[in-house]
Amino acid sequence: MSVHNKLRKHLYSSVGPVLLAAMSFATSAVAAPCTGPGAPTTTQTKCLTAVQIPGNPLLSFDISWVNPIRSEYYLADRSNSGIDIINTNTLTFQRTIPGFVGVKRNPNGTVNNNISGPDGVTSHGRWLYAGDGDSTLKVIDLSPSSAKSPIKQTISTGGMTRVDEMALTTDGNLLLAANNAEDPPFATLFAANGDDPVSHTTKIIKITIDPLIVPAGAGLSIEQPAWDPTTARFYTSVPIIANNPAGCNFDGAAGPITCDGGLLVTDPVHPTAVQGAFDPATNTGVIKLHACGPNGSTVGPNDNLLLGCTPANNPANVTTLVINAITLNYANIANITGSDEVWFNEGDGRYYTGSNRNCKDFTLGPCPTAAQQAAVLGVIDGTSVLIETVPQSSGSHSVAADSKRNLIFVPQVAPVLVVGPGGDTTAVGAGICGTTSGCVGVYQHQVNGQGR
């Protein structure tokens, strides 16, 4: 999942020799998982174990997803060019579904997120949908009979860059996927498979945002959509929009970003090719947000949406936003920011944030630079109160939860000494994983005596 295109390269800047010398682990280090700062004993959310992913060490991954009915966790693993599947009941690695473009690099050796894949991922029943770096949506059959050739369809969205984040309606019949790295960005509405036994996913319409709201040429994007069944609308994070507030700067090439973001509301039954400013009569269009340039989006209790605001979009953002889909009233949550993927876990009634750009010290105000930021797993209760933050590897930005087992899955980047630029520049990930290859850290919040 990306942020403002002009800022992407900042995520994977080179690590200086002084920092490398300070690393407290060696590439050959192997220890028990769940140790160190990423596994505090004082938090309610406990590090339970780590699941190792075979193959290449984890340098680059994107969105993750859980289907609690199938007891499966899915990770868009670019390092191994496929979708990793973990059994959430046994907490064991099952397989990787291949067929994706994998890691693509810039001339300087850093990862080019815009054309790497897989990226976004979501599922309904036997059907898994995943975006790839070549602007295609791949439709995957998870049934045992399709194990040898699970990719049933590869559908181009017509762009040159990745199909990123996506969301499904509750019945699995409609899918909205974002091409976030196109300029201008766009979304594609698909007729998906629902519970049908044969794949027949087709494109319905390409959706863009009025260029007065998301101007071309500035590398702006659209990010994670979420589906709210009560309003029957998709809600998609828009990191930066023009004139919010009036006269703000939306172009990183012209100086620091001062514009806040928006929330795109889409009616999939009556979609329009170009969406403009929010219209309360149709409950569609772009809502202007305050103090938030969001990446992530998830629907919680009472039609509240938690949005993953981040200083990577607007350097002034130091809070997380919750907005009600019906009233549009909102509240800001202090002491947590810098989120990419966010997730509401119905099992314990808590939001979880993959906050790879959280401020180290909120008393200092904005934290726009990497030196002022650290990655954490944010834990927020259903009343929008921050419960705690748990340190994660420096590239950790993905989170998903199994609502039946109250397990929270957070993939960890391998150390920079192993994978180079883009790797973990702390000792946190190696402590969580117990290895220096990266892993999927598994956390648990016990509810009413539940637990493993």
Per-residue model confidence as pLDDT tens digits over 268-323: 999 999 999 999 999 999 999 999 999 999 999 999 999 999 999 999 999 999 99
In contact, 445 and 382? CB cutoff 8 Å: no
- The predicted pLDDT at position 18 comes to 33
Q: 226: which strand partners?
A: 235
- The predicted pLDDT at position 3 comes to 38
In contact, 413 and 396? CB cutoff 8 Å: yes
The mean pLDDT of 259-274, rounded to a whole number, is 98
Cα separation, 5 vs 258, in Å, equals: 16
188-210: pLDDT as tens digits: 999 999 999 999 999 999 999 99
- Confidence band for 451, pLDDT divided at 50, 70 and 90: low
**Looking at the predicted structure, is the pLDDT value of residue 12 above 50?**
no
Q: Which of 277, 276, 307 is nearest to 292 (CA)?
A: 307
Residue 30 or residue 246, greater confidence: 246
- The predicted pLDDT at position 62 comes to 97
- Confidence band for 6, pLDDT divided at 50, 70 and 90: very low
If you search the block for the tokens 């990226």, which residue do you land on? Answer: 119
Cα separation, 388 vs 352, in Å, equals: 10
Q: 166: which strand partners?
A: 177
Q: CB 119: neighbour CB atoms within 10 A? A: 32
Q: What angle do CA 130, 136, 140 make, to 5 degrees?
A: 40
Q: CB 380: neighbour CB atoms within 10 A? A: 23
**Looking at the predicted structure, is the pLDDT value of residue 53 above 70?**
yes
- Confidence band for 147, pLDDT divided at 50, 70 and 90: confident
- Confidence band for 171, pLDDT divided at 50, 70 and 90: very high
Sorted by sequence, the CB contacts under 8 Å of residue 329 that are 6+ apart come out as 323
In contact, 85 and 96? CB cutoff 8 Å: yes
- The predicted pLDDT at position 447 comes to 73
Residue 11 or residue 2, greater confidence: 2
Sorted by sequence, the CB contacts under 8 Å of residue 175 that are 6+ apart come out as 122, 129, 137, 166, 167, 168, 169, 189, 190, 191, 192, 201
**Looking at the predicted structure, is the pLDDT value of residue 13 above 60?**
no
Range with lowest mean pLDDT among 20-34, 232-246, 345-359, 417-431: 20-34
Q: 177: which strand partners?
A: 166, 188
29-43: pLDDT as tens digits: 457 899 999 999 999
The mean pLDDT of 438-446, rounded to a whole number, is 95
Q: Which of 36, 14, 38, 40 is nearest to 25 (CA)?
A: 36
Cα separation, 437 vs 412, in Å, equals: 9
Cα separation, 301 vs 304, in Å, equals: 6
The mean pLDDT of 158-173, rounded to a whole number, is 98
Q: CB 169: neighbour CB atoms within 10 A? A: 19
Say which amino acid occupies 307. Answer: L
Cα separation, 17 vs 2, in Å, equals: 27
Gyration radius (Cα) of the chain, Å: 20
- The predicted pLDDT at position 31 comes to 74
- Confidence band for 452, pLDDT divided at 50, 70 and 90: low
Percent of the chain with pLDDT over 90: 89
Cα separation, 352 vs 39, in Å, equals: 16
For the chain, the farthest-separated pair of C-alpha atoms sits apart, in whole angstroms, at: 61
- Confidence band for 450, pLDDT divided at 50, 70 and 90: low
- The predicted pLDDT at position 30 comes to 54
Q: CB 45: neighbour CB atoms within 10 A? A: 22
The mean pLDDT of 171-200, rounded to a whole number, is 98
Q: Which of 358, 420, 366, 440 is nearest to 12 (CA)?
A: 420
Q: 168: which strand partners?
A: 175
- The predicted pLDDT at position 1 comes to 52
> Which run of H or E residues covers position 152?
strand 151-156
- The predicted pLDDT at position 446 comes to 78
Phi and psi angles of residue 50, each rounded to the nearest 5 degrees, phi first = -135, 135
Q: Map residue 430 onto helix, strand or coil.
A: helix
The mean pLDDT of 41-63, rounded to a whole number, is 97
**Looking at the predicted structure, is the pLDDT value of residue 7 above 70?**
no
Alpha carbon distance, N-terminus to C-terminus of the chain: 32
- The predicted pLDDT at position 128 comes to 98
Q: 123: which strand partners?
A: 128
In contact, 49 and 451? CB cutoff 8 Å: no
Cα separation, 306 vs 325, in Å, equals: 10
- The predicted pLDDT at position 20 comes to 39
Q: What is the pTM of this model?
A: 0.92
Phi and psi angles of residue 416, each rounded to the nearest 5 degrees, phi first = -60, -30
